[in-house]
Amino acid sequence: MSTSKLDVFRGALKDKSKLIVLFKAIDEHTDEKYLNLPYFDPKSPTYGAKTRYKGYRPVRYGAYEALSKQFNVSRNTIYDRMRTFSNGVEKQTQTSNTGARSVVYEKWEQTPTHSVIINEIGADPNSVKNANRDPTRYKQTFKKRDKYDYTCYTAWKAIGAKTDLLEASLDQWLIVWGKDPKSPNMCHPSLRDNQTGLISYGYTIPLRWIMKRSHDPQVKNLIVINDSRFNTTKLKRTAGQHKQSYFSEEQCFLLPQALNNVDTLGLTYFGMLFGGRHIALSDLSPKSIDYSAKTIDFWESKIQKTITKPLFEPELSFIRQYIMDMGIGVNQPLFKRHLNEYNKELSATKQFFDKTRFPLHWKPTTHTAFKHTCVTQMSLHGVRMDTISDYIGTDPNTLKQFYRGGSEVNVKREIGGMDIAQEAPTWRSYVVKLTQVFAERYTELTGYKVVLPVVKGVA
C-alpha cells in the first residue's frame, strides 16, 4: 500500500517524511531474509504465528524499544503504521518532504486564531474532566478542535492569509460569507455548499465561534445580536434528499465481493449492522464490547450520548474473531484509516454493481450507505419505527424526515386493515445471512476460516 495526500494521522509519525524514516529504521532492525516482504501480513505463517504479534514482520530483539525511543512514540503507534502501510510508503528509503505540512499551514499555526482554538477547545476544563471519566468523549473534543481549526484555516486563506481572523474587518468577513450573505453563489467558493450555493452549514458554527471572539467590536456585535445575515437560518439542505440512497437486500449480499480491504469490509459490516456514522465507528475499540453482557457501546457525538446496542449470534462470534485475527489491542481503534480512503473504496463499488443485475443509481459513502441502509432495511424487514429510533439513537421525526421509514407491511396491516403476512424475512434472519456473506469474504481476504454458530428458530 502506498501513501497519498489522504493519508493523514493525528499525533506522531503523521507526515510521510517521518514515515519514510520509520520504515527505513525498521529495515535496519530486520533480518535480511525478511527484507522486501510486507511489514504486516495477517496470512503469514511465520510472522509471530503463535504470539499476539501475529502478522508483524520479525525484527531483532529490542528493536521496538529502540524505535519507541528514537521516534518518541508508543509500540502501538509503530504497529499501527506497520499495519496501515503493510508495504511501507513510496520511496521509503529516500528522504522526502512529500506529504508534509504546507508552508501556508505552518504560517497558520503561528496565528493568534489558531492558538485560541487550540487553547480554548483542547484545554477546556470540562473536557479534561471527561477525559478521566470517558476517553471516547475526550477524543471527540479533539475532533471538534480539528474541525474548528480546518474551517478557520480555510476562511483565513479565503481573505488572503495575511490578516488574522481575530483582526479581520467586516468587509473581510463578507468575502467569506458573501457580499450579500445568504444569496446563492456569493460566499467564497472554498466554503460554499454545492447544493444550496450558500455557505456550508457545517462551516458556520466554527466561523460564528471565532467571530464572537473578534477584536473588532462591529464584527463581534453581529454574532451577539444574532444578525440574520450571519446566522444558520435557511442554510441547511432540503431534508430527505438521500432517502433512496441505500443498498437493497440483493445489493447488501453482493457488497462484500466489491470490497478488497479487510478493514473496509469490517467497517461496512459494522456500519450496515448498527447504523453508525463514521465518527462513531472510528471510535470503536475492543473496550467498547462487553462479551458477558453481549452489548456494544457507540458514542454518538451528534446527541452527546452513548448508545448501548445488543449483540446476538452470529455477529458476536464474527466480531470477536475479527478483533483477534487482526491483533487489535483493547484500546486500539477497530478502524483507523482516514474517512476519505473508506469513502473512495465505497464509491468504487458503484462500478461493481453497474455490471450486475442490481446497478446503483447513487454514490455510496459512509454517510449514505451505512445509516440509510440500516434504517431502511430494518423498516423493510418489519422493525417498528420506535424500535429503530431506540436502536439508532435518532428521534422518530428525524428518521421519517431523512430516511425511508415505516414498514410497508405495517402500513397495509394497520392503516389498510389488511390481514397479510410479512413477505420479507425478519431482521434477525437478514442479519444472519448478511453475517454469513461478510464472513465468507473475510475468509477470502485473510485466509482465516470463520466458524459461525448455527442460529436455530430464526424466521
The DSSP result for 312-342, as a single string, is -TTHHHHHHHHHHHTT--TTS-S--S-HHHH
Which of 74, 99, 124 terminates a domain? The answer is 99
The pLDDT tens digits for 89-108 are: 764 433 333 344 578 888 99
Same domain, 280 and 165: no
Q: Which of 99, 124, 143 is the last residue of a domain?
A: 99
Lowest mean pLDDT among 106-120, 325-339, 403-417: 403-417
| pLDDT at position 136 over 80 | no
Closest CA relative to residue 253, chosen from 450, 420, 37, 431: 431
Place of cell 463578507: 174
Distance CA 117, CA 144 (A): 10
Side-chain-facing half-sphere of 321: CA atoms under 13 Å: 20
Residues 94 and 109 in one domain: no
Give the number of C-alpha atoms closer than 13 A to the C-alpha of residue 246, restricted to the C-beta side: 25
User: Residue 449, Cβ neighbours under 10 Å: how many?
Assistant: 10
In a domain, 12, yes or no: yes
Whether 297 and 336 map to the same domain: the answer is yes
Q: What is the CATH number of the domain that holds 316?
A: 1.10.443.10
pLDDT over threshold 90, residue 279:
no
Q: Is 167 inside a domain boundary?
A: yes
Judgement on whether residues 289 and 436 belong to the same structural domain of the protein: yes
pLDDT, one tens digit per residue, over 10-49 is 556 777 778 888 888 898 888 888 888 888 888 787 787 7
pLDDT tens digit sequence for 353-374: 999 999 998 889 998 889 888 8
Under 8 Å between Cβ of 115 and 92: no
Of 261 and 50, more confident = 261
First to last CA, the chain: 43
In this structure, what C-alpha cell is assigned to residue 445?
481476504
Asked if 58 and 82 touch (Cβ cutoff 8 Å), the reply is no
Residue 410 confidence (pLDDT): 59
pLDDT at 253 over 60: yes
The three-class DSSP label of residue 306 is strand
DSSP 8-state class, residue 235 = -
Give the 3-state secondary structure of residue 404: coil
Q: Do 327 and 405 share a domain, yes or no?
A: yes
Q: Are residues 58 and 147 in the same domain?
A: no
CA atoms of 173 and 163, how far apart (whole Å): 11
Query: pLDDT confidence of 409, banded at 50, 70, 90?
Result: low
Instruction: Output 148 or 127, whichever has higher pLDDT.
Output: 148
Residues 336 and 439 in one domain: yes
The number of domains in the chain is: 3
Q: How far is CA 183 from CA 206, 230, 232, in A?
A: 20, 12, 13
- What is the predicted pLDDT for the residue at 422? 53
Q: What is the pLDDT of residue 7?
A: 42
CA atoms lying within 13 Å on the CB side of residue 20: 15
More confident residue, 311 or 127: 311
Residue 62 zone, left/alpha/beta (φ > 0; ψ -120 to 50; rest): left
- Evaluate if residue 411 carries a pLDDT over 70: no
Output the furthest CA–CA distance in the chain (Å, rounded). Answer: 75
**What's residue 244's pLDDT?**
67
- From 214-218, 257-261, 418-422, 433-437, the region with the lowest mean pLDDT: 418-422
Confidence of residue 205 (pLDDT cuts 50, 70, 90): very high
Secondary structure (DSSP) of 334-346? S--S-HHHHHHHH
Q: What is the pTM of this model?
A: 0.59
How far apart are the C-alpha atoms of 259 and 413, rounded to whole Å?
38
Let me know whether 392 and 323 are in one domain. yes
Identify whether the C-beta of residue 29 lies closer than 8 Å to the C-beta of residue 63: yes
Residue at 357 is within a domain: yes
Give yes or no: residues 220 and 155 share one domain: yes
Question: Does 210 map to a domain?
Answer: yes
My answer on whether 155 and 67 are in the same domain is: no
Q: What confidence score (pLDDT) does residue 86 get?
A: 85
Cell of 151: 474551517
Tell me, rounded to whole angstroms, the distance of Cα 110 from its chain centroid.
Answer: 29
Q: Would you say residue 451 lies in a domain? A: no
Q: Position of cell 420479507?
A: 424
In a domain, 198, yes or no: yes
Instruction: Determine, yes or no, domain membership for 32.
Output: yes
Taking the CA atoms of residue 143, residue 150, residue 239 and residue 226 in that order, the dihedral angle to the nearest 10 degrees is 100
pLDDT category of residue 138 using cuts at 50, 70 and 90: very low
Nearest Cα neighbor of 450 from 318, 260, 253, 273 is 318
Using the predicted structure, report yes or no on whether residue 376 has a pLDDT greater than 90. no
Query: What is residue 135's predicted lDDT score, i.e. its pLDDT?
Result: 43
User: Do 270 and 214 sit in the same domain of this protein?
Assistant: no
* 113 shares a domain with 202: yes
Strands ordered across the beta sheet of 305-310: 289-290, 295-300, 305-310
User: What are the φ and ψ backbone dihedral angles of 337, each rounded to 5 degrees?
Assistant: -75, 165
| pLDDT in the model for residue 129 | 41
Q: How confident is the model at residue 400 (pLDDT cuts 50, 70, 90)?
A: low
- Structural domain boundaries, residue 433: 249-446
C-alpha cell at 379: 423498516
pLDDT band at 242 (very low <50, low <70, confident <90, very high): low
Cα separations (Å) of 45 from 101, 313, 440, 443?
Answer: 39, 29, 21, 15
Mean pLDDT of 60-78: 85
- For residue 89, being part of any structural domain is answered with yes
| Residue that finishes a domain, picked among 79, 99, 119 | 99
pLDDT in tens, 441-456: 999 999 999 989 988 7
Average pLDDT over residues 231-252: 75
135 compared with 344, residue with greater pLDDT: 344
Contact (Cβ atoms closer than 8 angstroms) between residue 152 and residue 117? yes
Q: Give pLDDT tens digits for 116-134.
A: 998 888 654 444 444 444 4
